[in-house]
Structure 1
Amino acid sequence: MSDVIQERAGVPVLLCDPAGPPIATEQDALDLVGAAFLGAHAVAVPAARLDASFFSLGTRFAGDVMQKFVNYRLRLVVVGDISAHLAASAALRALVEESNKADHVWFVPDLDALDARLAAAATR
């Protein structure tokens, strides 16, 4: 499967292929932003595609990537199990908790959870 735009809970979402290339640079993130401009309002990236530096907050990579999406008014959704990363970093746990309280960046375990979040956001 390649990256595709699919409507989920009434929202056009760019679903990134789990087997796609890693997101390891800011340019990789900008490439996803560009692909989303074909009509998506959100980008769902499998956690496995994110370089390990994304989850190591000292690298600032996560902040740089998240800021790109905020600047372009796109919702970034990290989809998948990040429990090993969370167990290793209190700072990452805090970031995920705060991000999930807002609307720009979400961390969800699977696409069903994404659908539920999108549906809930539509009713606000």
Structure 2
Amino acid sequence: MDIFDGLTELEIQIVQELANKGNRSYADIADKVGLSERQLFRYRQKSHIKKAVRNIAIQELESEIPTMINALKKNIQRGDYRSIELGFKTLGLLVEKSEVKTTIEDARYNEMSEEELDREIAEIDRELKVLQGGAK
């Protein structure tokens, strides 16, 4: 699929300029494509523009993969810990795992009567009103 599929001529020009931004300011790019900085900012926020700029960057970087791998190999051979770790991750031999518990365990509500629950809700509601009033 072509990176520019579905983009207007102006959007293509914007994507190309953003992808080759270098040290230029957004004001310079806006002038180059004939927009105000504010208009350019709005274009930059569009997901299809961001995606196209990212795809160009990835496409350009792909040609550097052999150079990057060679640099990584040299660092690994020198015993650089971070390079060794990255090498293992790249090969899929090292996977970071983390576990996130998303439930709140509070058994005290299970043992409350309807009246106690109503009082608890009323108390929470009162505290929220105080906090909202205090935030003004």
Considering Cα pairs closer than 8 Å and 6+ residues apart, tell me whether 1 or 2 has the greater RCO.
1
Higher-strand-fraction structure: 1
TM-score by length of 1: 0.22
TM-score by length of 2: 0.21
